[in-house]
Structure 1
Amino acid sequence: MTRPALLATLALLCTIAVILSLLVGTAPLPPARLLAALTGANDPVARIILFELRLPRALLGLAVGAMLGAAGAALQGYLRNPLAEPSVLGASSAAALGAVIALYFGLATLHPVLLPATAIGATLIALAALFAFAGRSESPLTLILAGIAISTLAGAGISLALNLSPNPFAAMEITSWLLGSLEDRAFDHVRIALPCIGIGLALLLWNGRALDALTLGEDSARSLGVSLPRLRARLLLGVGIGVGGAVAVSGAIGFVGLIVPHLVRPLTDRSPGAILLPSALGGAALLMLADVAVRLIPASSELRLGVVTAFLGVPIFLVHLLRERRLW
């Protein structure tokens, strides 16, 4: 498939997912009523459902999915490791820990910016530690173990916050948030997340040619004019700012960055730069469709989005881990 055809197909899939997201919910909106609400018809109930509940949810689904997909593709290209992605390497867990700290100490109530700020700060610290390992070892196993260590440490911090939570309602809020969801999100959340995600995506997409050069080896990349410290800094900032901002509003949603690059890679020339933008569009479509699915699956309460993406991602993770068993 040619690149323009692939991008057009993924964009169409995103559009279909957005339309489904606007139509599907506890209170179904028929297409005619949805169109009337969009054009300003005097239907206050439909307008509230559309503009205060479903449209912010759809925008966040697109943005968060695009960020996670692009982050996974960028990390896989830089580390030359098919198992790399934000949640596997501890970035999402660190962002969740930063957000939990903001929730636990009430920082999020002081100013809305403090929630993504703490999530971004924790993510940058975690990725800096991970890339320190990357500079010393080419082994994918070392990087996976480092990511597991970071995730475990972040998980211990989250468990400590839950254990010391001053009241059960705060613990329930943190637990519910950690499962990942786009439910009950408003335009305030969109305003918080979009600047962070926009900056993160821009920094990652900027590195396409440098990641392609890196596939030839570090020495060859240097000879082609690629500054490895600058590349690493841009990736660190892009993943840290983007994933931190995304996790701050959606909670911990894992494995999107692992699934999507592997789905789009066979449709491209397989170079890291060629899959960055398709992975962003594919991540947006996948997360939107998963968010539609959680609303359609019969349950006493809406399933959490992070649970669904984990069930999708874990089998793919295990398949690729088994392919790398020769490195053990």
Structure 2
Amino acid sequence: MGRLYEQLSLDERCEIARLRGSGSSIRQIAAALDRQPSSISRELKRNTGSGPRAGAYKPTYAQAQTAARRWSGARLERDEALREQVLTGLRRGWSPEQVSGRLRLEEGRPVIGCETIYRFIYAQLKRTNDGAWRFYLPRAKARRGRRGHKGGSPASFIQQRVGLAERPAEALTRDQPGHWEADFMLFSTYGQSVLVLHERTTRLTALVKTATRKAKPTAKTLGGLLEALPKRLKQSVTFDNGTEFAEHHSLGLATYFCDPHAPWQKGGVENAIGRIRRFLPRKTNLDDVSPARIIAVAQAYNHTPRQCLDFHTPAEAFSRVLHFERESTSRPSPG
């Protein structure tokens, strides 16, 4: 039976350097280390310096060279086809989780983990010193971690305000479609905003560029977005405590408000806005953004696979809900 070959350790390489420096022959070194002479000869020939350092065997250099020869690069560096699939998804605004999950859904098996994608992107940021790599990530963060947020609450100015604690359990668990959340995306230019309406179960999201954030026009815009929906898909809307939502009672459906200083309680729309920031950063001048562009951004978001939907898209999920709703209301009553 042939002998199982093991890589030389750093300690063995240090011993090779010491014995070689003292004038020992290759066979003497091999005998001292209980190695084959061919292994020692190959080690010295492969890892001996060149130029002024010719003939000098450096154990740390040899160890580093061995590691470099054995390393084949990150998976996305080695697999060009998979790398292009991943980067194509990221360019569309999908997160690494969404890219990973969608590939698993389409292939019927795990293809690549989201952590592998994150590490690849952050490795490129560090290796290339090119900040453009961060724009492959939904929130374009150069470093991983959470950021703190501060805010106020004029809750006492909102009449007929009902707290979130009274919202039905179906809305909290997302088991029943028709419960919505609404908020405004704000921009650097004062007065510019986009109204965002988000359905909690399917994650479908609508965007409307608005000329004002006054309460009555805001309620009218929200009413227009909800008007065409079946009644069962208009259960409730949840807001933060901004006075722009003070006319909530005119919508004709149940409305609920987050606790003061807790806008995170309407986490669905907060998350959606964070993702949409990739397409509409805060510094965007909405005067240069056409209504068609706003629609395209909404379509991109609604056609992005979501982990919470088993990597189906919000558009697919809402289409199924809407189809079921139409089927259930069009069935003939028993005669």
What's the TM-score, normalizing by structure 1?
0.25
Higher relative contact order (CA 8 A, sep 6+): 1
By percentage of residues, which structure has more strand? 2
